Amino acid sequence: MSRSLCAGMRASRLVTMNLSIVLPPILLLLACGAYIFWPQRRLAAAPEKTRLDYLRERKEVIYENLRDLNFEYKAGKYPEADYAVQRDSLETEAASVLAEMESLGG
């Protein structure tokens, strides 16, 4: 009878030891999953862009393209005829964007 009592106590200690080893990582995993996938109460709304905001961004892109075109022309990557056509196209587009910005009051 003494042996069965000792075996029972060993089995009980083994279960307790296994639980103390397995339970913390499981709880940590559940907590991390809840933190990652828990829905937020308030999502940040993206600000709406106005036509003027769009035109300002477009103007900056055109100016950057003009700077790049000038740099590449001076580096010898563009023949003069292609450079002139590209530059005229970008300048015309910039002028139309600036005119529209002016009409919108920006």
Which structure tokens are listed for 95? 């002028």
Within 10 angstroms of residue 79's Cβ, the number of other Cβ atoms is 10
CA-to-CA distance for 79 and 70, rounded, in angstroms? 12
pLDDT, position 39: 79
* Helix (H) / strand (E) containing 86: helix 80-104
Within 10 angstroms of residue 62's Cβ, the number of other Cβ atoms is 20
Which structure tokens are listed for 37? 């996938």
pLDDT, position 14: 59
Give per-10-residue mean pLDDT for the chain (106 aa). Answer: 55 66 85 85 78 95 97 94 96 96 86
pLDDT, position 103: 93
Specify the DSSP class assigned to residue 13: H
Q: Which residues contact 42 (CB under 8 A, 6 or more apart)?
A: none
